[in-house]
Amino acid sequence: MSGDATTADGGQRTAAPAGLRTEGLTKSFGGVRAVNEATVSFRDGQINALIGPNGSGKTTFFNCVTGMIKPDSGSVIFRDKEITGRAPHRIARGGIGRSFQLCRIFPRMTLLENLLVAVRARNLRELMAGSRQPEAVDRARELLVRVGLDHLENAEAGNISYGQQKLLELAGVLMSDPDTIMLDEPAGGVNPALIGRIGTLVRELNAEGKTFLIVEHNMDMVMSLSHHVVVFDRGRPIAEGPPSVVQSDPRVLEAYLGV
Rounded CA-CA distance 190/166 in Å is: 8
Instruction: Rank residues 52 and 199 by Cβ distance to ligand ATP and give the closer one.
Output: 52
Instruction: Rank residues 21 and 27 by Cβ distance to ligand ATP and give the closer one.
Output: 27
From the list Mg ion, ligand ATP, none, partner contacted by residue 176 (C-beta under 5 to 8 A by kind): none
Binding residue for ligand ATP, selected from 101, 176, 206, 247, defined by CB under 6 A:
101
Under the binding rule (CB under 6 A), the answer on residue 211 touching ligand ATP is no
Under the binding rule (CB under 5 A), the answer on residue 26 touching Mg ion is no
Total length of the chain: 259
Q: What phi and psi values does residue 172 have, to the nearest 5 degrees?
A: -65, -40
Q: Please state, as a whole number, how many other Cβ atoms lie within 10 Å of the Cβ of residue 38.
A: 23
Report which residue type is found at 169. E
Instruction: Rank residues 57 and 243 by Cβ distance to ligand ATP and give the closer one.
Output: 57
Instruction: Rank residues 59 and 165 by Cβ distance to Mg ion and give the closer one.
Output: 59
Report which residue type is found at 187. A
Tell me if 226 sits within 8 A of 203, measured CB to CB: no
Under the binding rule (CB under 6 A), the answer on residue 68 touching ligand ATP is no
Rounded CA-CA distance 21/75 in Å is: 8
Instruction: Rank residues 14 and 54 by Cβ distance to ligand ATP and give the closer one.
Output: 54
Of residues 125 through 184, those in contact with ligand ATP by CB under 6 A are none
Of residues 28 through 67, those in contact with ligand ATP by CB under 6 A are 29, 32, 34, 52, 54-60
From the list ligand ATP, Mg ion, none, partner contacted by residue 56 (C-beta under 5 to 8 A by kind): ligand ATP
Rounded CA-CA distance 25/76 in Å is: 7
Only one of the segments 27-35, 84-92, 125-133, 170-178 lies at the binding site for ligand ATP (rule: CB under 6 A); that segment is: 27-35
Quick one: CA torsion of 112, 118, 120, 126, rounded to 10 degrees? 60
Tell me if 240 sits within 8 A of 63, measured CB to CB: no
Tell me if 19 sits within 8 A of 41, measured CB to CB: yes
Under the binding rule (CB under 5 A), the answer on residue 59 touching Mg ion is yes
How big is the chain by its Cα radius of gyration, in Å?
18
Contact positions vs ligand ATP (CB under 6 A) = 29, 32, 34, 52, 54-60, 101
Contact positions vs Mg ion (CB under 5 A) = 58-59, 101
